């Protein structure tokens, strides 16, 4: 086996493993008992999609995909922070509620 | 030779991403799940992006990859800290409710 064939094979294997980890993180997103579990799973999925962009850039040679990864890193952080603050405020509001 | 190096980076990165996903699924509580997703997940995607930078071999790509990795490593502790604070307060207030009911 030449080294170029090995690279092709490892790109396919990387695609399979990264997509598998995306699916597993999605299972946690669907199951997750609390909101914080779902936010963690969503964060994990964002990081995994950044990895998918990297593998796709290697497989196709289109390097505009790395711009997608950069924007996804920025937006994913904002989503995580917004959801975490939402969870915290909702908690504070429920606590302050005299029932 | 360089193809072998790229393959090793890609396979190591996908291995760590898979480990992180299994950790997010299997670990018992929010704080341990966060530990899996922040550390192993960021390491996996950083290794994959470094492999891509070695494969494409252009200066602008390398700068972009370094920016993505730096940004991930700067922001993921902040996000994890905020989720952890929210979930810890959630757990504490649940404990308080149980105490109030038992009195």
> Complex ipTM, two decimals?
0.86
C-alpha B103/C-alpha B85 separation (Å) is 27
Window 15-54 of B, Cβ < 8 Å to A = 15, 17-18, 20-22, 24-25, 30, 33-34, 37-38, 41-42, 44-45, 48-49, 51-52
Which residue segments constitute the domains of chain A, with CATH numbers given?
3-96 (1.10.287)
CA distance A67 to chain B (A): 8
For domain B2-102, give the CATH number: 1.10.287
Give CA–CA dist B74/B79, Å, rounded.
10
Task: Quickly state the pLDDT bin for A1 (edges 50, 70, 90).
Answer: confident
| Count of C-beta atoms within a 10 Å radius of residue B60 | 10
Other beta carbons within 10 angstroms of residue A63's beta carbon come to: 18
| Single pTM value for the model | 0.87
Q: What is the mean pLDDT of chain A?
A: 87
**pLDDT tens digits in sequence order for chain B, 103 residues long:** 888 999 999 999 999 999 999 999 998 888 888 888 899 999 999 999 999 999 988 898 999 999 999 999 999 999 889 988 888 887 777 777 777 766 5
């Amino acid at each position: 086996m030449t080294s170029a064939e090995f690279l092709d094979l490892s790109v396919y294997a990387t695609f399979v493993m990264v997509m598998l980890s995306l699916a597993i993180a999605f299972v946690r997103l669907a199951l997750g008992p609390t909101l914080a579990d779902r936010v963690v799973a969503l964060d994990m999925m964002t990081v995994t999609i950044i990895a998918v962009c990297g593998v796709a850039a290697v497989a196709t040679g289109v390097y505009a995909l790395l711009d997608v990864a950069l924007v996804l890193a920025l937006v994913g952080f904002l989503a995580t922070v917004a959801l975490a603050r939402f969870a915290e405020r909702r908690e504070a509001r429920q606590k302050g509620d005299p029932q | 030779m360089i193809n072998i190096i790229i393959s090793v980076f890609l396979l190591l990165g996908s291995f760590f991403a898979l480990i992180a996903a299994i950790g997010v699924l299997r670990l018992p509580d929010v704080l341990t799940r966060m530990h899996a997703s922040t550390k192993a997940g960021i390491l996996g995607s950083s290794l994959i992006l470094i492999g891509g930078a070695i494969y494409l071999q252009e200066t602008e790509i390398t700068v972009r990859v370094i920016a993505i990795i730096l940004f991930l490593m700067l922001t993921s502790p902040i996000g994890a800290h905020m989720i952890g604070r929210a979930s810890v307060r959630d757990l504490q207030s649940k404990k308080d409710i149980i105490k109030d009911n038992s009195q």
